[in-house]
Amino acid sequence: MALDAETLLIERCQAGDPEAFAALVRRYQRQVYALAYRLVGDRAEAEDVAQEAFLRCYRSLARFRTGQPFGPWLYRIATNLALDHLRRRGRAAAMASGEPPPTAERTAGPDEEALRREDQRRLAAAIANLAPEYRVPVVLFHLQGLPLAEVARATGLPLTAVKNRLYRARKMLRQALRDQDNEATGRCRDEQVPVREPVGSLR
């Protein structure tokens, strides 16, 4: 049903109705902005990339065949723009600060919230340190929640290549988090600070 509504919106856009396109932007803005943010690592730049992705999408809508999944097509545009942006900027290791993104969610208590934010910060930093070809499948599969087949469509890669990159990326993430844990444990021991449960194993 949702897909039908989306198809109608796309057809209205193709007929030149800008309000239908506004509805599409509202529907996908979270995913496209989050994807751009995870890939370029900066809020202002992510907004530029997201804007440009929607604009390119609008210009190319005439060529979009309704009935195909719209999301992966749009993510592919956004992904390519973000990667072009990274290449232009000349630093693939974006988001080195690994700053936690602003969120609307505030449910846990202060301590629990602080720990959760710290875990998220470390995980986000580990993702940001992956090379773009490994970061993209992680972002699309885990953070955007796309099935593997749609990740393949969104990246233009064969399914086996997507799986291989995803597996390697997760292995690198596990290793990076273990290293962070070891480093934190060593630092705490040196400073005689009580050590909290390691999160590198994320257990």
Binding region for other proteins (CB under 8 A): 13-14, 16, 18, 21-22, 25-26, 29-30, 32-34, 37, 43, 46-47, 50-51, 54-55, 58-59, 61-63, 73, 76-77, 79-80, 83, 100-105, 119-120, 123-124, 132-133, 136, 138, 142-143, 145, 148, 155-157, 163-164, 166-167, 170-171, 173-174, 177, 201-203
Would you say 21 or 70 has its CB closer to other proteins? 21
Q: What is the 3-state secondary structure (H, E, C) of 108-157?
A: CCHHHHHHHHHHHHHHHHHHHCCCHHHHHHHHHHHHCCCCHHHHHHHHCC
The dihedral of CA 203, 100, 125, 26: what is its sign? positive
Q: Least distance (Å) from other proteins to the CB of residue 2?
A: 19
Of the pair 5, 159, the CB lying nearest other proteins is at 159
Residue number, 63 or 192, with CB nearest to other proteins? 63
d(CA 84, CA 71): 20
Please provide the DSSP assignment of 10-46 as one string: HHHHHTT-HHHHHHHHHHHHHHHHHHHHHHH--HHHH
Q: What's the Cα-to-Cα distance from 116 to each of 4, 10, 67, rounded to whole Å?
A: 38, 39, 40
The residue among 101, 170, 102 whose CA lies nearest residue 135 is 170
Helix (H), strand (E) at residue 184: helix 159-191
Toward other proteins, which CB reaches closer, 69 or 163? 163
Task: Pick between residue 58 and residue 69 the one whose CB is nearest to other proteins.
Answer: 58
- Least distance in angstroms from the C-beta of 9 to other proteins: 13
Shortest Å, Cβ 57 to other proteins: 9
CB of 91 to other proteins, least distance (A): 16
| Minimum distance of other proteins from residue 12's CB (angstroms) | 11
